[in-house]
Structures are given as structure tokens and as C-alpha cells.
A and B are shown apart, each in its own frame.
Chain A
Amino acid sequence: MPNPKRRHSKARTSKRRAHDALTATGLSECPNCHERKLSHRACPKCGTYKGRDVLEVKEAS
């Protein structure tokens, strides 16, 4: 079986991973409750989209 000839250093590993970072999702503000929400989606907090109630939001009881 083929095997690595040389030890793979930590520096080599972290240099490879230097470009692997994830970018944060861009969020928009809900015009109704001013919560941060994903754009083009109904607000999960207040259940509105484009000024209309669209979802039934469960209230914490």
C-alpha cells in the first residue's frame, strides 16, 4: 500500500485551512417586529411577510 513519505506538519494543515472560513449569512430586518430575519422569507418571529400575516406563530405559554 502507498504511504506518505513525510510527516504532514500542523503549519501545513492550518495553511491549507486558511481559506476554508465560512461567511456569515446576510440578514435583513423585519419591517414589522425589527427582528433580524432571512431575506425573501416570512418572519419566523412575528409571522408576517410584505405587510400581511402569513404564519401562525406559536406563543410561548
Chain B
Amino acid sequence: MRHRNAGYKLGRNTSHRRALLRNLVTSIVMEDRVETTITKAKAARPHVEKLITLGKKGDLHARRLALSYLQTREAVTRLFETVAPRYGERNGGYLRIVRTGFQKGDGAEKAFIELLGAEQVLDEKRQKRAEIRAKRREELDKAMAEQQQQSAGDGTDVSS
């Protein structure tokens, strides 16, 4: 029987745990996807779902309740205006957790937790990031090539 085994303690005292979860939940609302450990993802999920339910209600009282949990006003705005309207038809199950591997150091299992319906936004974000990275690499390669040319020129000078 799993009586009295509910919830996740995460090895923290109450205030530490509450602070951690509020922080994590705010990040999920703001970023759509967060990579964390599987246990933290599972602990954060019900909190996010309850907030989205508040977001679907959309009245002033719900907004104040959300503000009392989320850490920034921007997160509340995003929750009510961007995140919650995605789930008009759906009753719960707004998040997806996918296991991704193991953490170096302590071997904890990693996972990402993401909001359903955010795939397109996330893919765009990732593409943008990849473009920036490619551009930066190109510049680096160019700088490196120039440097090499210069040092090669110096080398021939010294030998002659």
C-alpha cells in the first residue's frame, strides 16, 4: 500500500522546496520547455496544470491567485494571454515529460518538461539558436584562418 507516500520532498525543507518549485514553474510558463531532473519535472507538473486551469478561468480573482504563486508579473501575463488560450478544449494533461538521459556527476535522470502546443514555437526558437550558432562558428573559422595565415607568414619570415 502506498498510504501516506504522496508527493515529492526533493530533499529540501518546506520553504526551500516551495521556492524551487515556484522558480521552476515560472520558468516553464515563460520558456515553454525546461530541462531538469525527472523528479523535479514530475513534482512541478501538477502546479503548472493548476495554474493553467486558473488561466482558463481568466477573471481577476484567478489572476491574483496566479500572481501569488508565479514570481513575475510577466509570467502571469504570458500565462493568461498566451499559454492558457491554447487549451480551450483540453481538460488537463497540458504537459509532456520526456526522459533524455543521465546527468554527469550524480547520475540523476534528466528529462525535459514542455507545454503541449508549444512545439512550433520551440522549433522556431531552436532554429534561430542554430542559425546564430552557425554564424558565430563561421566568424570564428574565418578569424582562425586569418590568424593561421598571419602566423604562417611570420614563420616563413623567421626561417628565411
Contacts and interface: CB of A to CB of B under 8 A. Distances in A.
A54 B98 contact: yes
Contacts of B130: 56
Interface residues on B, range: under 10
A36 to B, nearest CB: 14
A24 B130 CA distance: 37
Nearest to B123: A53
Interface in A20-57: 40-42, 44, 49, 52-56
Interface string B112-142: 1000000100010010001000000000000
Contact of B99 (A40, A52, A53): A40
Contacts of B99: 40-42
Interface string B16-40: 0000000000000000000000000
Given A40-B99, A41-B99, A42-B100, A54 B112 contact: yes
Contact of B98 (A44, A49, A56): A49
| A40, A41, A44, most chain B CB atoms within 10 A | A41
A42 B33 CA distance: 15
Interface of A: 40-42, 44, 49, 52-56
Given A42-B99, A56-B126, 15 more contacts: A40-B99, A41-B98, A41-B99, A41-B100, A41-B101, A42-B98, A42-B101, A44-B100, A44-B101, A49-B98, A53-B123, A54-B98, A54-B100, A54-B112, A56-B130
5 contacts: A42-B98, A44-B100, A49-B98, A54-B98, A54-B100
Interface of B: 98-101, 112, 119, 123, 126, 130
